[in-house]
A = this chain, B = another copy of it.
């Protein structure tokens, strides 16, 4: 990966920050003061500021054996921006803290920041500050993202109503399948030295390594004048996220298995691995799609959007959170999200 290796220590801390931020552009009028002082200043007069923060740790959340640094940078930003969209807000700024051991060269760090800047450009956000420091081991990333939303337009998890339609964007389960194949190829490589050919798996591998946040869905809501009644992004799997909305809204729900959107390539690949595509969608994670509820009256406005699937509806809490299978059976949903704590 590195033809040239420059030790980061040759730059010093401030030299490193200058190097990493020299091409940093400001895209939002609300960015009053950016990198280079004790703090940044933002101005969202008349709008509310939405804030989300996440930490990504090497060996826990990503494996650099199959994650290119550029993709890692991109995804680190995207993950937080996805949370901002999940509030029905528009992302505007991020701060980024990174810690890394001396195993990492300046070239590797540059690749990471290339991905960060690519995501900033794609999602029109400004990198306004942060910290670069040493770690004892591995690469640790902490991103805080800011967005803006008109007062009372932000969408919580706790405000779904009985009878609302439960909807999801895009396809589910692909990222989990991508992870499964990469982990399998890593084991094969470790045991046999045989290099994987992942060309046929471009879709699912891409879902894991280069996911995109659903900017288009938020823009569609604005165009159609729809405000979802509740929303969450799908980072831990459909089951876990549905249970969050149900619990926080004090409701039950029914999901129809046949309505859960799984991409055809992903479905075929799941069968090849003898996995149930529905289980991948329910318990896999990192799809970064949006799960939301809308009033039934809004159905007409969304039905023409082929990126949105209605997968069920909200019920009395007494009815529980259930999935109605293709075979006509009902099962309780169980939270089996990716639990990094265990």
The CA-CA distance from A134 to B338 in the complex, in Å, is 12
The stretch among A21-29, A32-40, A191-199 that forms the contact with chain B is A32-40
Task: Evaluate contact between A57 and B87: CB separation under 8 angstroms.
Answer: no
Tell me the smallest distance from the CB of A145 to a CB of chain B, in Å: 8
Asked if A140 is an interface residue, CB under 8 A from chain B, the answer is yes
Instruction: List the 7 closest A-B pairs by CB distance, nearest first.
Output: A142-B142, A39-B52, A38-B86, A55-B97, A53-B95, A38-B83, A144-B144
Tell me the smallest distance from the CB of A63 to a CB of chain B, in Å: 12
Instruction: Tell me the chain A residues, 167-183 only, with Cβ under 8 Å from chain B.
Output: none
Chain B residues near A33: list those with CB within 8 A: 154, 156
Task: Evaluate contact between B342 and A9: CB separation under 8 angstroms.
Answer: yes
Beyond A55-B140, A57-B136: 11 further Cβ-contacts under 8 Å? A36-B157, A38-B52, A38-B232, A39-B86, A40-B51, A41-B87, A41-B154, A43-B48, A54-B97, A55-B142, A61-B133
Chain B residues near A86: list those with CB within 8 A: 38-39
The CA-CA distance from A37 to B147 in the complex, in Å, is 14
Query: For A32, A46, A87, A135, which residue has the most chain B Cβ atoms within 10 angstroms?
Result: A135
This chain's copy number in the assembly: 2
Asked if A3 is an interface residue, CB under 8 A from chain B, the answer is no
Tell me the smallest distance from the CB of A230 to a CB of chain B, in Å: 10
The CA-CA distance from A60 to B59 in the complex, in Å, is 20
Say yes or no: A13-B51 contact (C-beta < 8 A), given A136-B57, A136-B58, A142-B97: no
Tell me the smallest distance from the CB of A53 to a CB of chain B, in Å: 4
Size category of the binding interface on chain A: 35 or more
Asked if A129 is an interface residue, CB under 8 A from chain B, the answer is yes
Instruction: Tell me the chain A residues, 134-159 only, with Cβ under 8 Å from chain B.
Output: 134-138, 140, 142, 144-147, 149, 151, 154, 156-158
The CA-CA distance from A129 to B131 in the complex, in Å, is 19
Chain B residues near A84: list those with CB within 8 A: 38-39
Asked if A279 is an interface residue, CB under 8 A from chain B, the answer is no
Contact of A147 among B39, B48, B95, B97 (CB under 8 A): B39
The CA-CA distance from A215 to B130 in the complex, in Å, is 22
